[in-house]
């Protein structure tokens, strides 16, 4: 079978199950693609020996008739997920040599279902960023380039390596995490599909924490079907994570072709914001028309507190980051500075050397808003506004089944173009942070190309734990968009 790295996850699953291709052949094809794509810097750690051993084990299970749901399918793992015996860095110097002795619940679910690990994927340091430029291991580069330009573009963040690897054909699918848009932004600007599930749908145990009340695991893959297949396996209740929810996980794939007839799709008027690319507004209007043409009713809804979402997020997330990252002290694990004269200096030097500029900035912001005299003025007030943002969605869902919105204010930008201006970078999250603050699920689907030939994505935001309806609508959007564009493989030359 030719073109193995061009298969969707569903196609590869069916081919392996039918013994048209072996897992070893599939895995070797992806390992070769990874070797030829080092210019993208998508992987921090490659695990070829482990991948081939897992593939051989899968082939034996297929031959014995004991295949599991993801048997023999090669995946990439965001390097925020702890993987037993495999270096886990969180994209940071402070964890550059950390090897966990345990496996995250989500990745264990994938291995239990038969998946094969190709390696650990690049990301913004501790998942703090929207462009994958804050990684200690260097920026991940998008496989896409604008027409007539050789400028290197960002793949989005923080799960840039995940989106890049899927888009470039380096894996069938990848795990990712989303704290303020870190699945949806990369998916939107690399022409891939990604879902941020409802908070609590997937266990956070064994995933390096950024902001514990916002973080959520999810997949990035080629299609809505592939995401549905992956999320079915990734999601579970977990006694090791008190925030995981004990609800049945539907077989999302079976309902994909149900269509959108009779669904009500809300268009939030507050998402028409200044600075959004006209191309984004155009594809948003087109997406609404596509759903309407398939039988959905499109109505305007209001999310009145949207304008407060970014400041609220950039108080709560840094506050939680400040608390979570206090554990990295140069003593128990991770980077330890040399030449310290006492314990306090060891802490200070280790953290100063171990954390990059963006992580240090967020720790400082978070420590400030949690400090005596400022807690009530900032953090407590932000939590109250967060409740209002969640209530906005509750009210909107009284008149609609889901919300259709842009995922990003524009297409991918050049590496180095915005990273020196943190406020500009934070504004790139304008359409995504509301979903995390409200704990809702959101699915991004590629919907078109900009004039420069770069992907543009749309997001569907659904009711809590109603990912099944999101997948159904996402599939309808996917069929209408008929997005077939692929990046030109410049990295192979």
pLDDT tens digit sequence for 366-417: 999 999 889 999 999 999 999 999 999 999 999 999 999 999 999 999 999 9
Alpha-carbon gap, residue 381 to 245, rounded angstroms = 27
- Section 66-85 average pLDDT: 98
Across residues 87-104, what is the average pLDDT? Answer: 97
- Please tell me what DSSP assigns to residue 295: T
What is the number of domains present in the chain? 1
In a domain, 241, yes or no: yes
**pLDDT tens column, 298-348:** 999 999 999 999 999 999 999 999 999 999 998 888 899 999 999 999 999
Please choose, from the candidates 399, 473, 400, the residue with its C-alpha nearest in 3D space to the C-alpha of residue 442: 473
The reported pLDDT for the residue numbered 420 is 86
Catalytic residue list:
78, 158, 182
246-300 pLDDT per residue, tens? 999 999 999 999 999 999 999 999 999 988 999 999 999 999 999 999 999 999 9
Structural domain range at position 472: 12-265+400-492
Give a yes or no: residue 275 inside a domain: no
Indicate whether 452 belongs to any domain.
yes
Mean residue pLDDT of the chain comes to: 96
Identify any residues that bridge with 457 across adjacent strands, giving them in sequence order. Answer: 446
- CATH code of the domain containing 34: 3.90.1300.10
pLDDT at 493 over 70: no
151-173 confidence digits (pLDDT tens): 999 999 999 999 999 999 999 99
**Inside any domain, residue 341:** no
26 found inside a domain = yes
pLDDT digits (tens, 9 = 90+) for 418-427: 988 888 888 8
pLDDT score of 196: 98
Q: Say whether pLDDT at 1 is over 80.
A: no
Sheet holding 455-462, edge to edge: 43-46, 116-121, 74-78, 173-177, 217-221, 193-196, 442-449, 455-462, 402-406, 264-268, 297-301
Position 25 in a domain: yes
* Alpha carbon distance 28, 176 (integer Å): 23
The answer to whether position 278 is within a domain reads no
Instruction: State the Cα torsion 70-72-78-80 to the nearest 10°.
Output: 80
Helical packing angle, 224-234 and 467-481, nearest 10°: 160
Query: Residue 423: CB partners within 8 Å, gap ≥ 6?
Result: none
In a domain, 372, yes or no: no
């Amino acid at each position: 079978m030719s073109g193995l790295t061009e298969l969707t996850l569903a196609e590869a699953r069916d081919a392996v199950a039918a013994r048209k291709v072996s897992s070893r052949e599939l895995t070797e094809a992806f390992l070769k693609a990874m070797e030829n794509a080092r210019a993208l810097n998508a992987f921090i750690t490659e695990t070829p020996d482990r991948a081939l051993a897992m593939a051989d084990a899968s082939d034996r299970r297929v031959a014995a008739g004991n295949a599991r749901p993801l048997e023999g399918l090669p995946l990439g793992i965001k390097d925020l997920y702890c993987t037993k015996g495999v270096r886990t860095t969180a994209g940071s110097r402070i964890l550059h040599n950390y090897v966990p002795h345990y496996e995250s619940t989500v990745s264990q679910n994938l291995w239990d279902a038969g998946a094969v690990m190709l390696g650990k994927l690049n990301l913004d340091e501790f998942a703090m960023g929207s462009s994958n430029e804050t990684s200690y291991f260097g920026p991940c580069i998008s496989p896409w380039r604008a027409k007539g330009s050789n400028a290197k573009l960002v793949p989005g963040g923080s799960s840039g390596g995940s989106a890049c690897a899927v888009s470039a054909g380096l894996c069938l699918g990848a795990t990712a995490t989303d704290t303020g848009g870190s699945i949806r932004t990369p998916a939107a600007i690399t022409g891939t599909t990604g879902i941020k599930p409802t908070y609590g749908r997937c266990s956070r145990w064994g995933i390096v924490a950024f902001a514990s009340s916002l973080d959520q695991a999810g997949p990035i893959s080629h299609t809505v079907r592939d995401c549905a297949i992956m999320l079915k396996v990734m999601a579970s209740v977990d006694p090791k994570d008190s925030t995981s929810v004990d609800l049945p996980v539907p077989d999302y794939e079976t309902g994909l072709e149900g269509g959108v007839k009779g669904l009500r799709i809300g268009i939030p008027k507050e998402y028409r914001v200044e600075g959004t690319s006209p191309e984004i507004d155009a594809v948003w209007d087109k997406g609404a028309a596509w759903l309407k043409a398939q039988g959905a009713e499109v109505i305007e809804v209001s999310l009145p507190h949207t304008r407060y979402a970014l400041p609220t997020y950039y108080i709560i997330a840094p506050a939680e980051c400040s608390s979570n990252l206090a554990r990295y002290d140069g003593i128990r694990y991770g980077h330890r500075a040399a030449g310290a004269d006492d314990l306090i200096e060891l802490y200070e030097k280790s953290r100063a050397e171990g954390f990059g500029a963006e992580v240090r900035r967020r720790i400082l912001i978070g420590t400030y808003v949690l400090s005596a005299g400022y807690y009530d003025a900032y953090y407590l007030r932000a939590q109250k506004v967060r409740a209002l943002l969640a209530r906005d969605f509750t009210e909107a869902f009284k008149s609609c089944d889901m919300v259709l919105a842009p995922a990003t204010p524009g297409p991918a930008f050049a590496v180095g173009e915005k990273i020196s201006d943190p406020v500009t970078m934070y504004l790139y999250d304008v359409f995504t942070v509301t979903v995390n603050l409200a704990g809702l699920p959101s699915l991004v689907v590629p919907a078109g190309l900009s004039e420069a030939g770069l992907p543009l994505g749309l997001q569907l935001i659904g009711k809590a734990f109603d990912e099944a309806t999101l997948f159904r609508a996402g599939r309808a959007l996917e069929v209408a968009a008929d997005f077939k564009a692929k990046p030109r493989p410049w990295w192979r030359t």
